[in-house]
């Protein structure tokens, strides 16, 4: 509510206690950061020092440089990535892909399934047991830049073969 009232020209996304604000310039981002710090101070809160940062969304149209050029949000890492347009030409696009932290957690979950100890089960039984989780991961994390998910899926294949 505060953002809509006080900064109506700055688009943003919120989830729980996280927010991403889309500023047009570094100056606007610095101004907003100062306003947010002031607002939090008045509410006797403080911004998380590691999670609060200005990130430059570098792509082919924005060639500048900034210390921070990527960020994580809701299990995705947003960063410059190579993409292909509909004419087959490659370009750099700022886009999301599964984060390293989320991929590591998925591999840990696969290890916890102890698939190598389930040789008494048919492949169909294993599929029935774990497909709901796998479908959830695939549906969520392959919505954008699905190739970042391939190493985790290859890891699952390797574990199943053992």
DSSP calls for 102-133: HHHHHHHHHHHTTGGG-TTS-HHHHHHHHHHH
Local confidence band at 90 (pLDDT 50, 70, 90 cut-offs):
very high
Check whether 12 has a pLDDT greater than 90: yes
- Report how far apart the first and last C-alpha atoms of the chain are (Å, whole number): 53
Cβ proximity of 122 and 105 under 8 Å: no
C-alpha dihedral (44, 47, 50, 53), degrees to nearest 10? -160
Check whether 5 has a pLDDT greater than 90: yes
If one compares 52 and 64, the residue with the highest pLDDT of the two is 52
Tens digits of residue pLDDT in 21-49: 999 999 999 999 999 999 999 999 999 98
Predicted structure pTM score: 0.85
Q: Tell me the sheet residues that pair with 119.
A: none
Tokens representing residue 72 in the block? 């994580």
């Amino acid at each position: 509510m505060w953002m809509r009232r006080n900064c109506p020209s700055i688009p943003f996304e919120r989830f729980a206690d996280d927010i991403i604000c889309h500023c047009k310039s570094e100056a606007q981002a610095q101004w907003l950061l100062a306003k947010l710090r002031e607002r939090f101070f008045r509410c006797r809160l403080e911004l998380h020092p590691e999670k609060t940062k200005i990130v430059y969304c570098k792509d082919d149209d924005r060639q500048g440089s900034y210390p921070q050029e990527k960020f994580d949000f809701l299990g995705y890492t947003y960063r410059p990535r190579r993409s292909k347009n509909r004419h087959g030409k490659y370009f750099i696009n700022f886009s999301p892909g599964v984060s390293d932290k989320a991929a590591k957690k998925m591999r840990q979950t696969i290890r916890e399934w102890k698939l190598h100890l389930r040789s008494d089960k048919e492949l169909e039984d294993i599929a029935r047991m774990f497909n709901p989780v796998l479908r959830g991961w695939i549906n969520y994390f392959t919505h954008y830049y699905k190739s970042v998910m391939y190493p985790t899926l290859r890891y699952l294949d390797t574990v199943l073969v053992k």
